Amino acid sequence: MLVSALLTSLGINSGLCVLFFLLYSIISKQPSNYEVYVPRLLAKGNSRRRSHFNLERLIPSTGWIKRAWKRSEEDILSSSGLDALVFMRIISFSLRVFSFAGIIGVFVLLPVNCMGTQLHEIDFTDLSNNSLDLFTISNVNIGSKWLWIHFSAVYIVTIFICYQLYNEYKYISSERIAYFYSSKPQPHQFTILVRGIPVSVCSSVSESVETFFTEFHPTTYLSHMVVHRTSKLRNLINEAKTLSKRLLHLQSEPSQHTYRHIGLFGQRVDLVDHYGKKLVDIEQSVRLEQSNVSLAEETRAAFVSFKSRYGAAIAFHLPQSTNPTQWVTEQAPEPDDVYWPFFSSSFMRTWISKLVVIVACILLTILFLIPVVVVQGLTNLSQLETWLPFLKSILTITFFGQVITGYLPNLILQLFLKIVPPIMEFLSSIQGYISHSDIEKSACKKVLWFTIWNIFFATVFSGSVLSKVSIFLEPKNIPAKLAVAVPAQASFFIAYVVTSGWTSISSELFRIIPLIFSLVTRCCKNTDELEVPSLPYHRDIPKILFFGLLGITYFFLAPLILPFLLAYLCLAYIIFSNQFINVYMPKYETAGKFWPIVHNSMIFSLVLMHAIAIGIFTLKKLSIASTLLFPLPVLTLLFNAYCRKRFLPIFIAYPAEVLIKKDKEEASVPAMAEFYDKLVTAYRDPALMPIQYSVNSESLNRPLMSSADF
């Protein structure tokens, strides 16, 4: 790739970004789009749908950019919770790291690379005509002493990143503890989930739980709630919901055709009447089913609540039974966070479904390469013509040829990648996790490794799927192969940051899909229904982390990537900060449990970078440097092991010290009695709540009692 090509791409994408920003600042001011751009403010009632026209609406403003950039952490924490703060910290952490690496890269490494003559001498008279490769380490002469500067840079940046990682882990774990101290009593703090409850012939699950916990936890046990199989019920309730919506729509517009012929020769029926009757019928069967379910259909799982957080922690931490596959305990999620479908209760089923999902994920990750390779085949026109000869006449037209080779492959690839997070979320959901947050965390990991494999390694190592896999079966040769393949793709990834990174982040701001969806459904939508979205962490965290990986691995190979990356991160900071104010509302709170994923990803990036560096120095015939680099990955992994010991336990469970202090603090608070009353019913399956759609329509928007009022 030539510098000029990069500049063109840069121009186009900067233009697009500016355009997106301008459009956003106009479109988002139109009241009809408030649902898309400020649903959160709408839901809070902070932003009214002004209907009168106003010239100000059409003038782009920049105030929001400044507001978003200057937003304080306390503000984010108080309005969006710790998870949002952690998300913003990922970006600000990357900004810090790549600012430091950027200074070294651009002002020290880049001049060294340019001075080299290995590939070619740089033509300073016509800069834009130079190949981008001249700015990479490939241009440094073999055996050159200048490579020691790269060597030092690798050491310095690794130390800097590790130092930052340590501080960040420390900061976030202290924030996590502080968050816990400042939280009100919440049902999930007092509750555990027990699975694999053994049942004797003559007793029910509920009796079994009662007996066990009154015997072994007599002082702390409060109550329990057995989980039921409610998938049938759930379908009925959904049916009732749809029907009542349709009914409401019909009632609100009485002018429209409310009569219809029923049956082949049937008489005309009043549809409102008809639907109303049907709804009453369904509600009847829901009630019948509800009473049946609570008697039979118990799963061998139950939420068990305790009188204190410490009591719940004891039951969670201690192995309960002589058979470790029975009475398996885990921390309960927030009541709203429970994922009721796919509630697997037995140890074996959970274990097997986990194994199946892991295999499915690995297969998906590896086999995803096949469509990618086919799509990339599109870039090769002549090959396409031999595959699909009937296209020959069309492809000879330059315009079509350019579209097909230039944009289509990338577009198809991006579309393919768009469906990955939902697929991974689905896979995680059948893996046996009991909460939306766990599902999302697991999906986040899956998407991250998927991205690293299918974008980084698939691009770097061309060839068949098997040949890629086989590289990792010969660990000895990995550095050498990386050293050849990775620098060769430097210009591709620089362009990738500019095109894919900048565009995707702008489209996040512009919310194209929700906007289109809103435009399409606007005509027939019930305006009272407003769903405030939550940020899909499993989609966005892997994206940012992948750019982090690119930055860390390429900073010494092709320092030119860093300015573009920094621009991306600044955009991301502004846009996500803005979206947290206006759009996203947290649905649950993991209190920073996403950070360990970030930490591990950074460590992986570092070690990958070291492997590449070792390979490069060997290739450049500076074997002392590559030998001297060997301790670095080892030390990095030791650093990671230390961090796992020092910080990770805090992210798994709160320590006794904290729990007891918090319990003591609240022991004398009079509101606790009321809280315990609520706690008893907090984990009731929403499908078992009494429903009422037929008579009054007011209850429609809140048909399920939520436990958010705790």
Return the residue matching tokens 């082949």: 264
State both tokens at 122.
Answer: 């740089």
Q: E strand or H helix at 224, and its extent?
A: strand 221-228
Min CB(605)–a second copy separation in Å: 23
Question: Between residues 268 and 476, which has the closer beta carbon with respect to a second copy?
Answer: 476
Of 402, 400, 444, which Cα lies nearest the Cα of 424? 444
| Identified binder of a second copy from the candidate list 3, 6, 313, 509, rule CB under 8 A | 313
Q: Which of residues 156-215 bind a second copy (CB under 8 A)?
A: 173, 177, 215
Min CB(316)–a second copy separation in Å: 9
649 contacts a second copy (rule: CB under 8 A): yes
Site map (CB under 8 A) of a second copy, residues 616-645, x = contact: ----------------------x---x--x
658 contacts a second copy (rule: CB under 8 A): yes
- Which residue type sits at 126? D
Question: Between residues 322 and 382, which has the closer beta carbon with respect to a second copy?
Answer: 322
Cβ–Cβ under 8 Å, residues 541 and 594: yes
What is the Rg, in whole angstroms, of the alpha carbon atoms belonging to the chain?
29
Min CB(548)–a second copy separation in Å: 26
358 contacts a second copy (rule: CB under 8 A): no
- Which residue type sits at 69? W
Question: Between residues 414 and 470, which has the closer beta carbon with respect to a second copy?
Answer: 470
From 54-62, 377-385, 444-452, 647-655, span contacting a second copy (CB under 8 A):
647-655
Question: Between residues 163 and 517, which has the closer beta carbon with respect to a second copy?
Answer: 163
**What gap in Å lies between CA 216 and CA 199, rounded to an integer?**
17
Min CB(525)–a second copy separation in Å: 49
Min CB(471)–a second copy separation in Å: 10
| Identified binder of a second copy from the candidate list 653, 669, 671, 695, rule CB under 8 A | 653
Return the residue matching tokens 């009022």: 709
State both tokens at 285.
Answer: 């069967």
Residue 415 CB partners (closer than 8 Å, separation 6+) = none
Q: How many CB atoms lie within 10 A of CB 698?
A: 8
Cβ–Cβ under 8 Å, residues 231 and 321: no
Write down the H helix ranges in 253-368. 271-295, 309-317, 347-367
Q: E strand or H helix at 474, and its extent?
A: none
314 contacts a second copy (rule: CB under 8 A): yes
321 contacts a second copy (rule: CB under 8 A): yes
Question: Between residues 451 and 626, which has the closer beta carbon with respect to a second copy?
Answer: 626
Q: Which of residues 464-503 bind a second copy (CB under 8 A)?
A: 470, 473-476
Of 21, 35, 23, 29, which Cα lies nearest the Cα of 53? 29
DSSP code for 192? E
Q: What is the 3-state composition of the chain as percent helix, strand, coil, each rounded to the nearest 5? A: 70, 5, 25
Question: Between residues 115 and 635, which has the closer beta carbon with respect to a second copy?
Answer: 635
DSSP code for 500? I
From 107-115, 371-379, 651-659, 666-674, span contacting a second copy (CB under 8 A):
651-659
Min CB(344)–a second copy separation in Å: 15
| Identified binder of a second copy from the candidate list 317, 349, 522, 621, rule CB under 8 A | 317
Return the residue matching tokens 């590896």: 366
**What gap in Å lies between CA 233 and CA 286, rounded to an integer?**
6
Cβ–Cβ under 8 Å, residues 612 and 482: yes
Q: Which of residues 88-107 bind a second copy (CB under 8 A)?
A: none
Cβ–Cβ under 8 Å, residues 365 and 453: yes
DSSP code for 134? G
347 contacts a second copy (rule: CB under 8 A): yes
Of 90, 230, 51, 156, which Cα lies nearest the Cα of 596? 90
Min CB(592)–a second copy separation in Å: 14
Q: Which of residues 208-267 bind a second copy (CB under 8 A)?
A: 215-216
Min CB(288)–a second copy separation in Å: 39
15 contacts a second copy (rule: CB under 8 A): no
The four Cα atoms 265, 270, 276, 280 give a dihedral, to 10 degrees, of: -40
| Identified binder of a second copy from the candidate list 22, 656, 695, 705, rule CB under 8 A | 656
Min CB(327)–a second copy separation in Å: 8
Question: Between residues 650 and 682, which has the closer beta carbon with respect to a second copy?
Answer: 650
Q: Which of residues 659-698 bind a second copy (CB under 8 A)?
A: 660
Q: What angle do CA 262, 267, 271 make, to 5 degrees?
A: 55
Residues that bind a second copy (CB under 8 A): 173, 177, 215-216, 313-315, 317-325, 347, 351, 355, 470, 473-476, 638, 642, 645-650, 653-658, 660
